Structure 1
Amino acid sequence: MSTPRDFAFSPHGWAYDIGKEDRVPYRVIRIRKDGPADSKKASLTLGIEFESRDEQEWSKMALDTTDVCQNDLVIVVGELLPEVPTIPKAWERLSGLQDFDYAKSINFVKTAERTGIIVKQLDHKNCNLNLLHNKQDGLYRIAPIPRNPGDRVVYYSEWTRNISETQAGKRKCAYHANICDYSKRYVREHKDELLGVHPSPTTKNEEEEEEEDDDLQQN
């Protein structure tokens, strides 16, 4: 019996076959912070070379999230495609995940050889998205994604459930709301396993960061 396809979804209403088996939803992993992640240089993130699907495996250290500072943890959100896919006009746009028939659907973007993994920092109030890159000793760094990367970000299905919005912008905000809700719930449920937030090498003005977060959610 073949394994069912695992899809991710664009806020613009199309599906992407991620080409992975046995992916664990709602994944939280550990990252490393050994250098700046300046949001003003987010445009450079799109030039980072992506890993192949075979290279996108979590190390034991990345999966060890016990007794780790909250701001060293991220939620795995979805993927950044290498380019904006061409979507035929004949494809029916999805209103939400409930409209997608996994068994019968033939209209989806095929799996890319290389993609970037997108995450949201666990301790951040809003849903700024970051790209995992530069894995060393089993841990990735993160780099901020531009406010408008084009229609290249796809969200794993756990974040797209029970969404009925028909406009791309509102649908994206609904996806982000699901992610933020889970982030809060994870912290509550694992509070005894998490350490306090330690100073980050990229400490920013909080008001500036919140403004950037709000802009990101509106795009």
Structure 2
Amino acid sequence: MTIAGNADVYCDVAPMGELIMDDDDNLHGKRLLINEQTVPFPDIPWTTVESSNDNANIPEVHPPEQWDGQIMSLTNDVHLPQGVYVFDELEIAGQGKLTFGGPSEIYVLGNLTIDGGSAMGVSAPELTIFVRGSEVQLSGSATVLGSIVAPNASAVLSGSNEFSGGLLVGGDLTISGDHSITIDRQVAPWGDMMLPSFPGGSTVALR
């Protein structure tokens, strides 16, 4: 696991392999070396949500090319009612903002990208974003309030974004830049920021 730039990590770090940091002063927690840690992924009902979801409640989006019924690519503000939503791809860029009226679930069949000065979250706890694709990317000065579960993806956190919630990915995790990462049980009551085994051999648990 590599942590570079000006990233501050307020957590316990438990690498199975090697932990590399540009500045040891940025790690505010314990250094725990473990031989093995298995983190099971939850069962994700992809088939069920593709046929039964709340996409019909998505309001008209302007300009209309930001939502074509399958791919959501936002550069402005969209507020959705509490519910379950399914997107082929989800990208929030520029100053775009995606918020929810209550606890919600998003299922992204492809990749998740949040960058620029964009924001994504919910006023109440419990927003979970399930990603089936191979890439999760948070960059720029993006703000995310919620949890991300991505069994097949590698995650890249770059820039100066703020992440508050939980993160569970099955691939590599790369953190660079100037981040504020908070594992908040009010947002992600089911757990920590964790990675099961992946190429590179490291496991991270933040709590």
The answer to whether the superposition gives a TM-score over 0.5 is no
Hey, which of these two has a bigger chunk of strand by percent?
2
RCO comparison, higher one (Cα < 8 Å, 6+)? 1
Hey, which of these two has a bigger chunk of helix by percent?
1
TM-score, normalising length: structure 1: 0.22
